[in-house]
C-alpha cells in the first residue's frame, strides 16, 4: 500500500482529524466539526464543516464520498457525491449532506459523516477527430446494455 504525506491544518482547537478506521479502509472518515447537535430534516441538506484545511498535492484530488452505514440505516448521503477537493483548494473541507430518509437525522460533534479518498488525477488534452473507433455498444445511451 502506498503512503502519501499531505499537510493538514486544524482550523479550531479540538477538531478531530480524518482517519482510516481499519487497516484496509480506502477512505478516511470525515468527522463533523459542529459545536452542537444539528438536526437534518427529511428532504433537506446542509453544509457541514470538518474543521480543517489541507494541501492535496498537485496530480491528486480528494473525493468526498458517502458512508454506506449512514445511507443504509438513515438515508443520509453526500448531495454532490462524489464531491471533489481540488489540489489548489485551501479552504475548510466541508460536506454537503442530504437526508433522503423519512426521519430527522441528528449530526453530533465529531460524528463520522462522510469519507475522503485521495485519488490520482489525469490531465486531458483533447484531440479532435473526424471519426471515433467503433465499439459493440456504439452510441447506445442509458440502459443500452440491459442492466
Residue-wise pLDDT tens digits, 137-147: 888 777 766 65
Q: Report d(CA 56, CA 141) in Å as an integer.
A: 35
Residue 46: per-residue pLDDT:
98
Measured over the CA atoms of residue 20, residue 21, residue 22 and residue 24, the dihedral's sign is negative
Sequence-ordered alpha helix ranges (H) in 1-147: 68-74
Residue-wise pLDDT tens digits, 14-32: 999 999 999 999 999 999 9
Q: Report d(CA 49, CA 61) in Å as an integer.
A: 19
Output 88 or 141, whichever has higher pLDDT.
Answer: 88
Q: pLDDT grade, residue 2 (50/70/90)?
A: confident
pTM of the model: 0.89
Q: How many angstroms separate the Cα of 124 from the Cα of each of 53, 121, 127?
A: 27, 9, 9
Domains and CATH numbers, the chain: 14-120 (2.70.40.10)
Amino acid at each position: 500500500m502506498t503512503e502519501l504525506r499531505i499537510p493538514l491544518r486544524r482550523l479550531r482547537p479540538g477538531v478531530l482529524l480524518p482517519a482510516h478506521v481499519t487497516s484496509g479502509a480506502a477512505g478516511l472518515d470525515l468527522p463533523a466539526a459542529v459545536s452542537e447537535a444539528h438536526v437534518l430534516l427529511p428532504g433537506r441538506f446542509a453544509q457541514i464543516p470538518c474543521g480543517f484545511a489541507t494541501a492535496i498535492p498537485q496530480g491528486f484530488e480528494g473525493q468526498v464520498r458517502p458512508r454506506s452505514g449512514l445511507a443504509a440505516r438513515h438515508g443520509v448521503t453526500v448531495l454532490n457525491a462524489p464531491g471533489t477537493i481540488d489540489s489548489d483548494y485551501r479552504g475548510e473541507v466541508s460536506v454537503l449532506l442530504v437526508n433522503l430518509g423519512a426521519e430527522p437525522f441528528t449530526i453530533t460533534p465529531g460524528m463520522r459523516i462522510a469519507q475522503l479518498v485521495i485519488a490520482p488525477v489525469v490531465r486531458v488534452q483533447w484531440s479532435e477527430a473526424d471519426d471515433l473507433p467503433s465499439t459493440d455498444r456504439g452510441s447506445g445511451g442509458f440502459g443500452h446494455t440491459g442492466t
